[in-house]
Amino acid sequence: MDFDWASLRAAATAVAARAHAPYSGLSVGAAGQDSEGKVVTGCNVENASYGLTLCAECGLVSAQRAAGLGPLVAVSVVAGDGAPIVPCGRCRQLLLEAGGPGLLLDADGGPVRLGDLLPGAFTADDLAARSAGGLGGSSPRESTDGPRA
Ligand SMILES: [Zn+2]
């Protein structure tokens, strides 16, 4: 599937101008599209209580859900200057659930697969296999197969 990376990056750059980043000074915009070509965007929103800061990808994923889009297939995340910037660890995890390991991320050297940026990711499959009600068996507290870390 071909993507109009220039348009996606332009949308991310435009929304970065709406970021609320008075503390770091790093405005970030994100634009993503689903397999039907529908595009959603998000920008970072910082807070005086730094830990409450929302990355641009948080807004993007919320917008994806709010607009009823399918899984994201291409995402561009840029700083305010329009140059691609890599998602932080938390956002790689968010994007994984929003698009899967095959989601393509805009990068200077060409698109990269999200799965290559987050190998061995924790997924819903891990929950199903390891939780008490999951497919894989008993709760860790009920298990008798040895000590736990
Ligand atoms: Zn992030």
Per-residue pLDDT of 123-148, as tens digits, reads 988 989 988 865 554 444 444 444 44
| Average pLDDT of the residues in 11-20 | 98
Give the mean pLDDT of the chain.
90
Distance 54 CA to ligand 1 centre (A): 7
Q: What is the pLDDT of residues 31-77, one digit of tens each?
A: 999 999 999 999 999 999 999 999 999 999 999 999 999 999 999 99
* Residue 72 within a domain: yes
* Rounded distance from Cα 53 to ligand 1 centre (Å): 9
Do the domain assignments include residue 149? no
76 belongs to a structural domain: yes
- Structural domain including 78 reads 5-130
Is the residue at 105 inside a domain?
yes
Q: Is 145 a member of any domain? A: no
At residue 104 the predicted structure's pLDDT band, cuts being 50, 70 and 90, is very high
Please state the domain count of the chain. Answer: 1
Residue 137 lies in a domain: no
Find the mean pLDDT for residues 108-131. 93
Where in the sequence numbering do the catalytic residues fall?
57
Q: Is residue 114 part of a domain?
A: yes
Question: Cα of 87 to ligand 1 centre, how many Å?
Answer: 5
| pLDDT band at residue 3 under the 50/70/90 scheme | confident
Instruction: Output the domain CATH number for residue 93.
Output: 3.40.140.10
Full-model pTM: 0.85
Q: Which residues contact 56 (CB under 8 A, 6 or more apart)?
A: 12, 15, 16, 19, 28, 29, 30, 42, 43, 44, 77
